[in-house]
Amino acid sequence: MAGKIAIVGSNMVDLITYTDRMPLPGETIEAPRFEMGCGGKGANQAIAAARLGADVMMVTKVGDDIFADNTIRNFETSGIDTRFVERVPGTSSGVAPIFVEPSGENCILIVKGANAQLSPADVDRAADALKECDLILMQLEIPLETVYHTVAFGAEHGIETLVNPAPAPADLDSTKIEKATFLVPNQTELATISGMAVNSLADAEAAARSLIARGVKTVIVTLGGDGALLINGNDDAVHIDPVSVKPVDTTGAGDAFIGSFARYYAANRDVKAALEMAMRYAADSITRPGTQKSYASVQEFEKFCQSL
């Protein structure tokens, strides 16, 4: 069994421009290629988990524009439960213009659209189904009050929760996510949440331990090409080594990491083993262009692992 996972989070339409270089302020340049796809941190993590065989449920909102049908169809095609995907009249769907350089590095803007209307009441409407889940994932492309409410819901009902604090806003109240089972920031987000400088592995460990001291059970710091750092209240910090690949497009790699971690953790409750699989899955995803379309199926991922 791969476990049952819920995502209370965002969906976006990715508008991806591949460019030879980023334009300067006020400059117009020609870009060689454009693609459009389904994205958003919540949806990306849901798709990654579902591609790997997890039973996934999505709690999210879409607009009443041309993007909504495609977003819902994409969930359904991937086998994701869409009972709690709701349309919002008179509102756009979320969109994310993405700019990708030849190195694979990217810059992203997000427009929340209907995601901004996902409320605690929506979580309460899905309560019975959420109580059947092994793990609930959240990100910060939805209202913070909804994230806080979901973390509290999980703690009340004994359901493990994972918060990916991305993007980390200045007004994030870290005291309201301290009951999360897992907090998974990158270095920049960790610095924002902890209020500490994070310029090295030692800094990352110190900042993560400050969050453990506040009540978070486990902190997983994603370090990009340097792998990840696992810190909890019981053991020494564990460094998860990166997997070396030639990057084509790093867009969505963090979501691939979290979605695949959720899938493997929900199945076996082995955090380190799940992180090692997630590191491989994220590495595989950056060898192909795009976001969700770069996420491997079970068979594709097994082939990649055999090649290492």
User: How long a stretch of residues is the chain?
Assistant: 308
Q: What's the CA gap between 281 and 277, in Å, rounded? A: 6
Active site residue 255: yes
Nearest of 254, 266, 251, 250 to residue 53 by alpha carbon: 266
Q: What's the CA gap between 54 and 138, in Å, rounded? A: 17
Report the phi/psi class of residue 66: left, alpha or beta, with left for phi > 0 and alpha for psi in -120 to 50.
alpha
Q: Which residue has the tokens 């790699």?
A: 253
Q: What's the CA gap between 179 and 171, in Å, rounded? A: 18
End-to-end, the C-alpha distance of the chain in Å comes to 25
Write down the catalytic residue from 55, 81, 255, 284: 255
DSSP bridge partners of 12: 39
* CB-based contacts of 9, cutoff 8 Å, min separation 6: 40, 41, 42, 43, 45, 46, 58, 59, 60, 137, 138, 139, 141, 142
3-state helix, strand, coil in the chain (%, to 5): 40, 25, 35
* Secondary element (H or E) of residue 161: strand 160-164
- Residue 254, SS3 per DSSP: helix
Please check whether residue 32 is in contact with residue 14, taking contact to mean a CB–CB distance below 8 angstroms. no
Q: Which residues does the annotation mark as catalytic?
A: 255
